[in-house]
Amino acid sequence: MLPEPKAMRTDRSRFLPDAKKSIISPAHETADASGVRAYTAEEFARLGISVDTFMDRARSAADRRLAEQKPDFIKDAEGRLRYAVYRSDSPLTASLLMAPSLGAVFREALGGDVWAVAPDRNSLFIFPAKPEALEEFAPDLRDRYDSNPFAASPEVFLMSATGGLPRVVGAFGG
């Protein structure tokens, strides 16, 4: 499931809980410049499954990809972890947002609940669920979202350690 701006919505797209500015859409990798695109109605019909079934499978696939990825850990001058970030040439990086285990992976390292931010398709930032943790990075995240032709979401998602769907708790732009 690909996070996208709400303007990209199709009848196969879904809003995550409390989302107002972004949607998730069934998508697949392509050989074109973007590297990924949402299924057309005809392509999706040929799959012979529902959007809910696709989402369940996509979440499992995101969990498998998450287990294979290594984030960069960004620390302050005293060596304390400030945030983690997944960066890749893959346009599926932002879809790691859908991994059910994402919240649990960072719960201990970041001291509790975590927020995930996907300003573009090639990155996913993980912060402690505290406004001050995200505040100084909001302008950079907004610029990444506003300037990228493959923007993902201007919203901040709460990731539960219990594996539920990401829930929007705020926005940094858009």
Q: What are the pLDDT tens digits along the chain (174 aa)?
A: 999 999 999 999 999 999 999 999 999 988 887 789 899 999 999 999 999 999 999 999 999 999 999 999 999 999 999 999 999 998 999 999 999 999 999 998 998 889 999 999 999 999 999 999 888 899 999 999 999 988 999 999 999 888 889 999 999 865
What local confidence, expressed as pLDDT, does residue 32 receive?
Answer: 82
Whole-angstrom Cα distance, residue 147 to residue 128?
A: 25
Look up residue 70 and give its two tokens: 């290594």
pLDDT at position 35, please?
85
pTM here is 0.93
pLDDT at 98: 96
d(CA 172, CA 170): 7
**DSSP designation for 21:** S
Select from 148, 113, 133, 119 the least CA-distant residue to 21.
Answer: 119
Domain boundary assignment for the chain: 2-171
> What DSSP line would sit under 57-81, residue for residue?
HHHHHHHHHHHH--PEEEE-TTS-E
Q: pLDDT value at position 173?
A: 61
Please state, as a whole number, how many other Cβ atoms lie within 10 Å of the Cβ of residue 31. 5
Q: Looking at residue 74, what is its pLDDT?
A: 95
What secondary structure does DSSP assign to 156-168, as a single string? EEEE-TT----EE
- Tokens standing for 105? 């992976």
Label residues 144-174 b or e (16+ Cβ within 10 Å = b): bbeeeeebbbbbbbbbbbeeebbebeebbbb
